[in-house]
Structure 1
Amino acid sequence: MQTPWLVGLTGGIGSGKSAAAARFAASGIHVVDADDAARWVVEPGQPGLAGLVGRFGRAVLQPDGRLDRAALRRQIFSDPRQRLWVEQLLHPLVRQAIADNLAGAQSEYAVLVSPLLIERGQYRQVQRVLVVDVPEALQLQRVLQRDGGDEAQARAILQAQLSREERLRHADDVIHNTGSLQELETRVLQLHQQYLQMARGMA
Structure 2
Amino acid sequence: MGQGPVVVVGHSLGGITAYQLAARHPELVVGLVVEDVGAVMRRPEVEHPVLDVRGWPARAPSRAALAAAIEARGVPDSTYFLRSAHRSADGWRMLFDWSDMTAVQEHGVGDWWADWLGSGCPALVLHGARSTLLPGSLADEMVARRPRTRLVRFPEAGHWVHDDAPEAVAGAIADFLGDLAAP
TM-score bracket, normalised by the shorter chain, equals: 0.3 to 0.5
Using structure 1 for the length normalisation, give the TM-score: 0.34
Name the structure with the higher helix share. Answer: 1
TM-score, structure 2 as length reference: 0.36
Higher RCO, Cα 8 Å, sep 6+: 1
Greater share of strand residues, 1 or 2? Answer: 2
